[in-house]
Amino acid sequence: MACRIGELVLGCRDPDTLATFWCAVLDVVELDRDEDMIEIGPRSGFGGAQPTIILSRGDEPWHVLADPEGNVFCLLRGRLDPV
Domain annotation covers residue 1? no
Which residue spans within the chain are E strands per DSSP? Answer: 7-11, 29-33, 37-41, 52-56, 63-66, 72-75
Number of domains in the chain: 1
Question: How high is the pLDDT of residue 29?
Answer: 97
What is the residue-level pLDDT of the chain in tens, covering all 83 positions?
577 778 888 888 999 999 999 999 999 999 999 998 999 999 988 877 888 999 998 866 677 888 899 988 877 666 556 65
Domain annotation covers residue 47? yes
pTM above 0.75, yes or no: no
CATH number at residue 44: 3.30.720
Domain annotation covers residue 50? yes
Domain annotation covers residue 2? no
Domain boundaries, position 71: 7-75
Domain annotation covers residue 20? yes
Domain annotation covers residue 81? no
Domain annotation covers residue 46? yes
